[in-house]
Chains A and B, each alone.
Chain A
Amino acid sequence: MASSITHIEPMPKASVRAAADTNAAAALGLTFGSAERRGDTLVVRIRPDEWYLLGDGAAPMVHGLDLTGYASTVDITHARHAVRVTGSHAAETLAKLCSADFGDAMTPNGAAWGNSIAGVTCDLVRDDHNGERSYLLLFDGSFASYVLRTLEDAAAEF
């Protein structure tokens, strides 16, 4: 199998919702649909007013945010599961289950977006590792068993 599929739990995760005029939004920054590594935390602006903080630094980063104004946070560590699909056939594997354009032009490294994968609502982040193509999938944890099984089925041909 030329792509590896890894269920990376437990991984601390937080969702921060913040209106554009808040200090939290200013601190987190990023363009909508992009992601950036800050230390041991991957910061993802997944929707115009929502950021994911993924990794061990998620909780400290949340605590450091000024959540005054129209801003809030929810610990989604247990609600959303993360699976990483890595390897030369990662995009082809996902393209069997997901309608997104996985080409570099539309989803370059650092791109983040929402999509359905095999019928499950997912958030995807292209998060290459050491130059190797890699995608982080976040989805409702109750689907974990199904998503993993389906990804492995899709990857079997490679």
Chain B
Amino acid sequence: MNHRLPPADGEVLDRTKALTFTWNGKKLEGFEGDTITSALMANGHHIIGRSMKYHRPRGVLTADFWDPNTTVQVGDEPNVRASHRKLEAGMQVVAQNVWPSLSFDIKAANGLVGRFLTAGFYYKTFMKPAALWPRYEHVLAKFAPGGEVDLDTPHGRYDKRFAHPDVVVAGGGPAGLSAAIAAAEAGSSVMLVEHEHHVGGHLLWGTEEDRARVADLTAAALAAGVEILTNSTVTGRYEDNWIAILQRNHPGVVERLIKARAKTLVVAAGTIERPYVFEGNDLPGVMTSGAVRRLITMYGVKPGKQAVVFSANESGEAAIDDLRRAGVSIARVVDALTGERIVSTKGSKKRVKEVLLEDGAKIKCDLVVTAVGWTTPTSLLNMAGDRPVYDADAARFFPSGAPDNVLATGGMVGDGSLDDLIEHGRVTGELAAGRAAVVRHRLQVATARAETVDEAEPGYLADERTPLDRWPHPELFRASTHGIVDYSEDVSSKDLYSAAAEGFDSVELIKRFTTATMGPSQGKLETVNTVAVLAQARGDSIGDVGTTVWRPPYAPISLGALAGRINEPTRLSVIQPWHEANGATPILAGQWVRPDHYGDPLSEVRNTRENVGIIDVTPLGKLDLQGPDVANLLSLLYTNKWMQLPIGSVRYGIMCAEDGVVLDDGVTARLDEEHYLMTTTSSGAARIWSWIEMWLQTERPEWQVHVTPVTTGLTSINIAGPKSRALLGRLTDIDLDNEAFPYMRVRQGLIAGIEQCIAWRIGFTGELSYEIHVPSGHGLAVWERLLAEGADLGVKPFGLEAQRIMRLEKGHFIVGQDTDGLSKAPVTGLDPLLKFDKDDWAGLPEVRWSLESGDHPVIVACQPDDRSIVPEEAAQILRSGTTEIVGRITSSRMSPTLERSICLAQVSKEFADAGTSLEVLLVDGRRITATVIEHHAHFDPEGERLRG
């Protein structure tokens, strides 16, 4: 570590803990507390990366989170910010976007043709001929910047947390700390979010007294109960102070996204030092004054041997002191305040070697330090609606005004002594707490469940803060030469001039055309210089050019953090453990995990047709309906009639949306005078509950109907097959005789010793069947009793696949499979269920119009002429000999009962008549023929089996 300085006050290193890591395969050593960059520089490595487009060697520019030149790959993680990421033992760090190596990068040949790679090069060059774009894309992808992603990398553990602090303070500098303390001491819950690893802001690389103030402020903040989040970024401010915070140092997780709903947001983001635009400004060894101060004071790194310092402010002066303290020779101080200017630099492939000044002097050096002014990172304020205004005297933008619940403080709103900044922060914190108290009071008063507040609403505090001064600063953006403006995107001031000359002369257009400000720094270093260069190119003022609108995120955020923990809700019936223990293959149907089959779905079909089968149909949506107006409700929502449904009866119905499209179907039973049980499709339960409540609460509020979802409360089992009556008869006191309990009836009674069970006689499979609903706590016991009691009858469970086959044999359509988002009720072919003599029902006008126009498709049953071929579901049906699509197969299976392939299809009406030959295009390109049959049912069209 030949560039490491002796231990000194202010460093954040623990020199008792040496950490070994590798850089491009070479073993190196750093200390705990180092960033990757500081450790590399301490070891004499000054080139950390290559630029995106021209692959120019790049070294440290800012030595903090925003450094655009120090992006590396760590292990299998690409795009790591080396000037921010703390060094860890065993890290394998490699340069990215270089080939074959960092020191010799063949892609640097781009620099030789750089004059052809100006802004818009790709747009202009590769647009024609369009057919070649895939080839272009393939080649260009190899030049894309960024590291390498190992697709086998396991998904990291990311986390999420919701928070409701009274006040969020973005920025942990002196003003932010002071604001947080004042707000907390005024009774607010406060969350302080600091971007870097330590609070304190610029005081960290200041004097011993500065750091003592940081320690005092930090202790006061903790004592006041402020929750301090370091290495965390407020990435966005959204409506009503919804604040997104990315926390990078929460134990046990890669990153954590905090969704905070703050009553007041205090933005104390400080200022960011601007780079200076001049020829050679991206050579390794050219850096900002803040960078050298951080490297020397915090990380004990000597950034060079001989420096030229171009200074226009106190930060430059302080950097000179730090450099001298670090033993760096000061070759020349270029005093911007007296009119001295840098023109350009020259260097080797590794580092800056010489500076040319405006007076013609050429100064040898290996370090060029610039201190030319500040950018106000107003992003979070912009997200709240603020539009920054340029102040030429101070040479930076300032906020112009944000909503009342967003307050700015610290360096971003002005200048002053440390005491001035702390005082402004304190007053801001009190103001934030006062306004938060008003919001809190209003929330409590408006929320029934909240703690009762007896006090009157606190008075709303007006903003009576004394503004901070604005210290004069020379306008220093670009020298007389051209240089890099956006280091991340390799955009030069020359590119901006060219773009402006081509007509992209508004700040929003030039941003998109050149990509300036669109890199990982998100414009923090580049925006103001871009605006300044554009103003020069236009011959305009910076104020007139204005800025782009900063939008979220404040800093790039990982997709993993946005995703958080992967929580995908799944639902299980109480019988699911039995299914799994008995060899069922699970299938995810909506949110439900269900048994698809138990090994052989075809034999499950045969057994059900010949003996008796049972299937767990718990996911069927079930709604308990009570009240005097249930019949009115059913009549409104279903297309058929419900006013005269007798107690003890079950009826099938179709529901339509207001556009006439089939929304759901199912059966509803009348259990008592004002008590009904509705079933919906499994996936439609929540939707239909919501649909019903919408009608009751908005359209028919005078109707008295209570709706309670009981899907899970009742375990539902369908007992199907010719021996189903015999099986159920062994377990129930309900009279199952065909006369006493005919088809489409419901009965209540004892089943397997369980009271309050419901049985209705319906059949989706086409067999004699009973659907029983038992309280779920007893569901598994009843299931097992059915299997035990029916062993001699040949009872076997069957899964979803067998049910699908049997329902297809029977010709029952499934909403969402055989219908789609355009299928209005007449498509189903169930015209007798469409009752136009009712006053009204949901979808009536659209359904009537559809029926009268007659141009809707219809569902038909068809059978391939080659009975061995099962067309794929969604296979197209074509007009014979043409490519005109006239329909599609919606369901298809091989029927074990009929020993042939069977289908349902949606076809144009002219192809719907029985006997019509359809031409079906298979996925492999073959065309086969299928014949439309008379009924939807392929099997037992008269329904003798289910009525028997």
| Bitwise interface map of A from 93 to 113 toward B, beta carbon under 8 Å scored 1, else 0 | 001111111111111100111
Contact of A142 among B449, B708, B712 (CB under 8 A): B712
Q: Which of A120-158 contact B (CB under 8 A)?
A: 120, 140-146, 150, 153-154, 157
In the bound complex, residues from chain B placing their C-beta under 8 Å from that of A157 are 251-252
Contact of B164 among A19, A101, A111, A113 (CB under 8 A): A101
Do A96 and B450 touch (CB < 8 A)?
Answer: no
Q: Please report the total number of A residues contacting B with Cβ < 8 Å.
A: 50
Interface check B302, CB cutoff 8 A: no
Binding-face segment, A58-66, A71-79, A82-90:
A71-79
Interface check B311, CB cutoff 8 A: no
In the bound complex, residues from chain A placing their C-beta under 8 Å from that of B450 are 105-108, 111
In the bound complex, residues from chain A placing their C-beta under 8 Å from that of B775 are 75, 77-78
Interface check B142, CB cutoff 8 A: no
In the bound complex, residues from chain A placing their C-beta under 8 Å from that of B626 are 17, 72, 74
Contact of B570 among A15, A101, A146 (CB under 8 A): A146
In the bound complex, residues from chain A placing their C-beta under 8 Å from that of B627 are 70, 72
Do B567 and A118 touch (CB < 8 A)?
Answer: yes
Q: How far is the CB of B55 from chain A (nearest CB, A)?
A: 43
A79 to B653, CA, bound (A): 25
Considering only CB atoms, which chain A residue lies closest to B165 in the complex?
Answer: A103
In the bound complex, residues from chain A placing their C-beta under 8 Å from that of B709 are 79, 140
In the bound complex, residues from chain A placing their C-beta under 8 Å from that of B567 are 97, 118-119, 150
A145 to B251, CA, bound (A): 27
Do A142 and B571 touch (CB < 8 A)?
Answer: yes
Do A74 and B710 touch (CB < 8 A)?
Answer: yes
Considering only CB atoms, which chain B residue lies closest to A124 in the complex?
Answer: B449
Q: How far is the CB of A81 from chain B (nearest CB, A)?
A: 8
Contact of B711 among A120, A140, A150 (CB under 8 A): A140
Do A101 and B261 touch (CB < 8 A)?
Answer: yes
Q: How far is the CB of A149 from chain B (nearest CB, A)?
A: 9
A17 to B675, CA, bound (A): 14
In the bound complex, residues from chain B placing their C-beta under 8 Å from that of A10 are 777
A70 to B704, CA, bound (A): 7
In the bound complex, residues from chain A placing their C-beta under 8 Å from that of B619 are 142
Interface check A31, CB cutoff 8 A: yes
Given contacts A72-B627, A106-B444, A140-B709, A34 and B449 within 8 Å (CB-CB): yes
With most chain A CB atoms within 10 A of its CB, the pick from B451, B568, B626, B706 is B706
Interface residues of A, dominant DSSP: loop
In the bound complex, residues from chain B placing their C-beta under 8 Å from that of A17 are 626, 706, 708
Considering only CB atoms, which chain B residue lies closest to A95 in the complex?
Answer: B162
Q: Please report the total number of B residues contacting A with Cβ < 8 Å.
A: 46
Interface check B713, CB cutoff 8 A: yes
Do A119 and B569 touch (CB < 8 A)?
Answer: yes
Interface check B125, CB cutoff 8 A: no
Do A142 and B704 touch (CB < 8 A)?
Answer: no
Contact of B569 among A15, A75, A99, A146 (CB under 8 A): A146
Do B713 and A78 touch (CB < 8 A)?
Answer: yes
Q: How far is the CB of A51 from chain B (nearest CB, A)?
A: 12
Q: How far is the CB of B166 from chain A (nearest CB, A)?
A: 9
Q: Which of B557-611 contact A (CB under 8 A)?
A: 565, 567-574, 592
Q: How far is the CB of B748 from chain A (nearest CB, A)?
A: 14
Q: How far is the CB of A155 from chain B (nearest CB, A)?
A: 12
| Bitwise interface map of B from 156 to 169 toward A, beta carbon under 8 Å scored 1, else 0 | 00011111100000
In the bound complex, residues from chain A placing their C-beta under 8 Å from that of B428 are none
Interface check B448, CB cutoff 8 A: yes
A146 to B444, CA, bound (A): 33
Interface check B624, CB cutoff 8 A: yes
Q: How far is the CB of A52 from chain B (nearest CB, A)?
A: 11
A108 to B449, CA, bound (A): 8
Do A76 and B444 touch (CB < 8 A)?
Answer: no
| Bitwise interface map of A from 13 to 48 toward B, beta carbon under 8 Å scored 1, else 0 | 001010100000000000111100000000000000
Considering only CB atoms, which chain A residue lies closest to B451 in the complex?
Answer: A108
Do A74 and B164 touch (CB < 8 A)?
Answer: no
A107 to B444, CA, bound (A): 10
Do B449 and A143 touch (CB < 8 A)?
Answer: no
In the bound complex, residues from chain B placing their C-beta under 8 Å from that of A98 are 162
Considering only CB atoms, which chain B residue lies closest to A111 in the complex?
Answer: B449
Given contacts A119-B569, A141-B713, A32 and B259 within 8 Å (CB-CB): no
A34 to B569, CA, bound (A): 28
In the bound complex, residues from chain B placing their C-beta under 8 Å from that of A72 are 626-627, 706
A140 to B710, CA, bound (A): 9
| Bitwise interface map of B from 246 to 284 toward A, beta carbon under 8 Å scored 1, else 0 | 000001100000010100000000000000000000000
Interface check B447, CB cutoff 8 A: yes
Do A143 and B569 touch (CB < 8 A)?
Answer: yes
In the bound complex, residues from chain A placing their C-beta under 8 Å from that of B443 are 106
Do B449 and A77 touch (CB < 8 A)?
Answer: no
Do B565 and A76 touch (CB < 8 A)?
Answer: no
Given contacts A95-B163, A106-B450, A108-B451, A140 and B776 within 8 Å (CB-CB): no
Do A142 and B261 touch (CB < 8 A)?
Answer: no
In the bound complex, residues from chain B placing their C-beta under 8 Å from that of A77 are 713, 775, 777
Considering only CB atoms, which chain B residue lies closest to A48 in the complex?
Answer: B448
Interface check B440, CB cutoff 8 A: yes
Interface check B320, CB cutoff 8 A: no
A8 to B200, CA, bound (A): 49
Considering only CB atoms, which chain A residue lies closest to B440 in the complex?
Answer: A105
Interface check B679, CB cutoff 8 A: no
A142 to B777, CA, bound (A): 12
Given contacts A79-B711, A104-B451, A141 and B565 within 8 Å (CB-CB): no
Q: How far is the CB of B871 from chain A (nearest CB, A)?
A: 35
Considering only CB atoms, which chain A residue lies closest to B625 in the complex?
Answer: A72
Do B259 and A33 touch (CB < 8 A)?
Answer: no
Interface check B714, CB cutoff 8 A: yes
A77 to B252, CA, bound (A): 38
Q: How far is the CB of B263 from chain A (nearest CB, A)?
A: 11
A15 to B707, CA, bound (A): 11
In the bound complex, residues from chain A placing their C-beta under 8 Å from that of B69 are none
Considering only CB atoms, which chain B residue lies closest to A156 in the complex?
Answer: B252
Do B711 and A105 touch (CB < 8 A)?
Answer: no
Contact of B448 among A31, A100, A119 (CB under 8 A): A31
A106 to B449, CA, bound (A): 7
Q: How far is the CB of B457 from chain A (nearest CB, A)?
A: 14
Do B449 and A141 touch (CB < 8 A)?
Answer: no
Interface check B189, CB cutoff 8 A: yes
Contact of A95 among B161, B447, B571, B714 (CB under 8 A): B161
In the bound complex, residues from chain B placing their C-beta under 8 Å from that of A75 are 713, 775
A140 to B712, CA, bound (A): 7
In the bound complex, residues from chain B placing their C-beta under 8 Å from that of A34 are 448-449
With most chain A CB atoms within 10 A of its CB, the pick from B447, B450, B570, B618 is B450
Do A78 and B261 touch (CB < 8 A)?
Answer: no
Considering only CB atoms, which chain A residue lies closest to B777 in the complex?
Answer: A78
Contact of B624 among A19, A74, A141, A145 (CB under 8 A): A74
Do B162 and A79 touch (CB < 8 A)?
Answer: no
Do A112 and B713 touch (CB < 8 A)?
Answer: no
Closest 4 CB pairs of A and B: A79-B713, A33-B449, A142-B571, A33-B448
| A79-B713, A119-B568 known, 20 other contacts, Cβ within 8 Å | A15-B708, A74-B708, A79-B709, A80-B713, A92-B161, A96-B161, A96-B565, A103-B164, A105-B444, A106-B443, A107-B449, A108-B449, A111-B449, A119-B567, A120-B569, A140-B571, A140-B711, A142-B618, A144-B572, A146-B570
Query: Can you list 26 residue pairs at the A/B interface with Cβ under 8 Å?
Result: A9-B777, A17-B706, A33-B449, A75-B713, A76-B713, A78-B714, A79-B708, A79-B711, A80-B713, A92-B161, A96-B160, A96-B161, A103-B164, A105-B451, A107-B450, A118-B569, A119-B568, A140-B571, A140-B709, A140-B711, A142-B571, A142-B573, A142-B618, A146-B569, A146-B572, A157-B252
Q: Which residues does B use to contact A, with CB under 8 Å?
A: 159-164, 189, 251-252, 259, 261, 440, 443-444, 447-451, 565, 567-574, 592, 618-619, 624, 626-627, 704, 706, 708-714, 775-777
Q: Which residues does A use to contact B, with CB under 8 Å?
A: 9-10, 15, 17, 19, 31-34, 70, 72, 74-80, 92, 95-108, 111-113, 118-120, 140-146, 150, 153-154, 157
